[in-house]
Amino acid sequence: MDENITAVKDAPVAEPKSHPVTININGQQHQLLVQPWVTLLDALREKLDLTGTKKGCDHGQCGACTVLVNGKRINSCLTLAVMQNGKEITTIEGIANGEMHPMQQAFIKYDAFQCGYCTPGQICSAIGMLQEGHATNREEVKELMSGNICRCGAYSNIVEAIMDVKEGGQYE
Amino acid sequence: MNSFTYTAAPDANTAAALLTADKHAQLIAGGTNLLDLMKENVAQPAALIDINNIDGLDGITTLDNGGLRLGALAHNADTAYHPLVEQKYPLLAKAILSGASAQLRNMATNGGNMMQRTRCYYFYDTSTPCNKREPGTGCSAIGGYNRIHAILGASDSCIATFPSDMCNALAALDATINVTGPEGDRVIAFTDFHRLPGDEPQLDNILKHGELITSIDLPKNGFEKNYAYLKLRDRTSYAFALVAIATGLELQDGLIKNARIACGGLAHKPWRKPEAEDYLIDKVPIKENFEAAADIILNGAMGYKDNAFKIELAKRAIVRNCLTAANLNN
């Protein structure tokens, strides 16, 4: 078998060694001991009980697991917790500041969900998108939110809610 | 996912040395494709070497020759939205932004984009034979469902396509790839980097085990006046290309003076045919001439049960995209 082949069926079983990581999550420092194969998503949900971040597809296709890492939206299912040492992470639990974040309020105002499972990811993604500053109209919002699937089909109201926040509550 | 060891490499030399020492080791950067493959047990590395902490590989800097150097660890989004890329290489910006989702583009790196693997369904499905995943087991796509598969450069062993959008633009722009490894540094022409499957479809590219990509260099000419990127897919966003075309033209006095056409979704690598580009030199940028160029590009194309439509689709996409590029009023 060529050495460049990545699918190694006879790979020796590695000694499972845990690694210490320090991650700031929602403004609070956490020191964790994680096995290398634990994704950030699983660390949030299973180790820190931050279950607001949802596991949908676990393959980066649905966006339910979207969180902000150093202010940028990413799929937490496709990165390892051990790779997040020293990072600042914001999950849906850290979005509100005393009162609900304007994006949370807008999602309620515009009825931008039905079952709600994708909503934490939608809200984190929408906040990340507005911080990126590349969406100027509805079409661009739709394109730049395409990494977040809503199987209830609340897309039109999600776009309305995001546009309302983008326009500072002046969107009609 | 199998168990594996994890090491964060402090510098490129250490990463190359660690990788060289363990043939079952793999580098991880953005991880967006590798971790997905590991979850499917398609990739089972015994060791992951994290290169994200290596300094100096995430920059985007101008070169003395007027070109631009893209760090291997610069993220796809940061690259696409970089002012110099937007101004001088809009073809690259557009190609990057037509791929994946915003979250994935925030995570994925430029080097990793090149190293991503095919999205052939059978490559991902470990219950089926696949010569790319397990050499010698056969190709399930030939005779299977092959809508997304290759019409050019395929072999009896593999009809997978290379899925990147970014790489179509890099191929059209004649980028070069800077690589380091145990035997030193080398520069690889972009169009030489990815390979056709032949009878070794397990090899996507010519990178040797132990080598890593440090940067990608863009030449001075960014074709920023007359360029276009067209991506055709089964939904309007967040899907891989059935056919993607990157075109760059230089026009003078109503004639084509320089042409680049790179096609994605058609083959095991971004598909370029210099004969077609040469054919267009000193021709007027009209439909008939682009049709003739498309015929040269698609010469020898062969469809399978579900993807024969791609031959005509690719021809029309090439013509349309070249006309769009020619008529761009920048």
Cβ-nearest to B32 among A63, A73, A78: A78
Residue A14 has pLDDT above 60, yes or no: no
- At B262 the pLDDT is 98
Provide the residue ranges of all domains of chain A, joining segments of one domain with +.
Answer: 19-93, 102-166
Region A60-83 average pLDDT: 98
Per-residue H/E/C for chain B: CCCCEEEECCCHHHHHHHHHHCCCEEEECCCCCHHHHHHCCCCCCCEEEECCCCCCCCCEEECCCCCEEEECCCEHHHHHCCHHHHHHCHHHHHHHHCCCCHHHHHHCEHHHHHHCCCCCHHHHCCCCCECCCCCCCCECCCCCCCCCCCCCCCCCCCCCCCCCCHHHHHHHCCCEEEEEECCEEEEEEHHHHECCCCCCCCCCECCCCCCEEEEEEECCCCCCCEEEEEEECCCCCCCCCCEEEEEEEEEECCEEEEEEEEEECCCCCCEECHHHHHHHCCCCCCHHHHHHHHHHHCCCCCCCCCCCHHHHHHHHHHHHHHHHHHCCCC
Per-residue H/E/C for B81-123: CCHHHHHHCHHHHHHHHCCCCHHHHHHCEHHHHHHCCCCCHHH
Tokens of B155: 């072999």
**Residue of A4, A61, A131, A136 to mutate, testing the B interface (most B Cβ within 10 Å of its Cβ):** A4
Q: Helix or strand or coil: residue A9?
A: coil
pLDDT one digit per residue (tens) for chain B, 330 residues: 889 999 999 999 999 999 999 999 999 999 999 999 999 999 999 999 999 999 999 999 999 999 999 999 999 999 999 999 999 999 999 999 999 999 999 999 999 999 999 999 999 999 999 999 999 999 999 999 999 999 999 999 999 999 999 999 999 999 999 999 999 999 999 999 999 999 999 999 999 999 999 999 999 999 999 999 999 999 999 999 999 999 999 999 999 999 999 999 999 999 999 999 999 999 999 999 999 999 999 999 999 999 999 999 999 999 999 999 999 876
Q: Helix or strand or coil: residue A4?
A: coil
Backbone angles phi, psi at B85, to 5 degrees: -70, -45
Instruction: With CB atoms and an 8 Å threshold, state whether A74 touches B107.
Output: yes
Cα–Cα distance between B156 and B131 in angstroms, integer? Answer: 10
Whether the domain at A19-93 and the domain at A102-166 fall into the same CATH topology: no
Cα–Cα distance between A19 and A21 in angstroms, integer? Answer: 6
Nearest-CA distance B102 → chain A (Å): 6
What is the signed CA dihedral for B98, A65, B52, B21, rounded to 10 degrees? -100
Nearest-CA distance B213 → chain A (Å): 15
CB < 8 Å to B27, chain A: none
Strand partners, A172: none
Closest CA to B222 of B109, B328, B113, B85: B85
Instruction: With CB atoms and an 8 Å threshold, state whether B45 touches A6.
Output: yes
Cα–Cα distance between B150 and B147 in angstroms, integer? Answer: 9
- At A1 the pLDDT is 39
Q: Is B200 on the interface with A (CB under 8 A)?
A: yes
Band (A15; pLDDT cuts 50, 70, 90):
low
Q: Is A83 on the interface with B (CB under 8 A)?
A: yes
Q: Least CA distance to B116: which residue of chain A?
A: A6
Q: Least CA distance to A125: which residue of chain B?
A: B103
Q: Least CA distance to A83: which residue of chain B?
A: B50
Q: Is A131 on the interface with B (CB under 8 A)?
A: no
Nearest-CA distance B57 → chain A (Å): 17
User: In b/e form, how buried is each residue of B218-257, taking b as 16+ CB within 10 angstroms?
Assistant: beebbbeebbbbbbbbeeeebbbbbbbbbbbbebeeeebe
Task: Compute how many other C-beta atoms are within 10 angstroms of the C-beta atom of residue B127.
Answer: 6
What is the signed CA dihedral for B29, A31, A43, B54, rounded to 10 degrees? 0
Q: Is A147 on the interface with B (CB under 8 A)?
A: yes
Task: Compute how many other C-beta atoms are within 10 angstroms of the C-beta atom of residue A95.
Answer: 19
Q: Helix or strand or coil: residue A131?
A: helix
Which of A9-13, A59-63, A100-104 is the least confident region? A9-13
Determine the length of chain B: 330
What number does CATH give the domain B5-53?
Answer: 3.30.43.10
- At A170 the pLDDT is 76
Kind and range of the H or E element at A41?
helix A40-42
List the 225-244 stretch of B: residues with Cβ below 8 A of A. 237-238
Q: Helix or strand or coil: residue A2?
A: coil
- At A4 the pLDDT is 46
Whether the domain at B5-53 and the domain at B226-326 fall into the same CATH topology: no
Band (A16; pLDDT cuts 50, 70, 90):
low
CB A160 within 8 Å of CB A171 = yes
Region A44-56 average pLDDT: 98
Cβ-nearest to A6 among B8, B43, B102: B43
What is the architecture, at CATH level 2, of domain A102-166?
A: Orthogonal Bundle (1.10)
Tokens of B260: 């680049």
Band (A10; pLDDT cuts 50, 70, 90):
low
Nearest-CA distance A91 → chain B (Å): 14
CB A73 within 8 Å of CB B39 = no
What is the architecture, at CATH level 2, of domain A19-93?
A: Roll (3.10)
Strand partners, B68: B62, B218
Task: Compute how many other C-beta atoms are within 10 angstroms of the C-beta atom of residue B154.
Answer: 26
CB < 8 Å to A3, chain B: 23, 209
List the 244-283 stretch of B: residues with Cβ below 8 A of A. none
User: In b/e form, how buried is each residue of A127-145, taking b as 16+ CB within 10 angstroms?
Assistant: bbbbebeebeeeeebbbbb
CB < 8 Å to A79, chain B: 30-31, 35, 107
Across chain A, the runs of DSSP E, i.e. the strands, are 19-25, 28-34, 66-69, 72-75, 88-90
CB < 8 Å to B103, chain A: 60, 63, 66, 73-75, 125, 128, 147
Q: Least CA distance to A124: which residue of chain B?
A: B103
Task: Compute how many other C-beta atoms are within 10 angstroms of the C-beta atom of residue A3.
Answer: 10
Nearest-CA distance A97 → chain B (Å): 24
Residue A25 has pLDDT above 60, yes or no: yes
**Could you confirm whether domain B226-326 is CATH 3.30.390.50?**
yes
Cα–Cα distance between A34 and A135 in angstroms, integer? Answer: 37
Q: Is A28 on the interface with B (CB under 8 A)?
A: no
Rg of chain A on CA atoms, in Å: 18
Provide the residue ranges of all domains of chain B, joining segments of one domain with +.
Answer: 5-53, 226-326
Q: Which residue type, as a one-letter code, is found at position B230?
A: L
Cα–Cα distance between A81 and B300 in angstroms, integer? Answer: 48
Nearest-CA distance B194 → chain A (Å): 14
Q: Is B4 on the interface with A (CB under 8 A)?
A: yes
Instruction: With CB atoms and an 8 Å threshold, state whether B133 touches A144.
Output: no
Region A133-139 average pLDDT: 96
Backbone angles phi, psi at A134, to 5 degrees: -105, -10
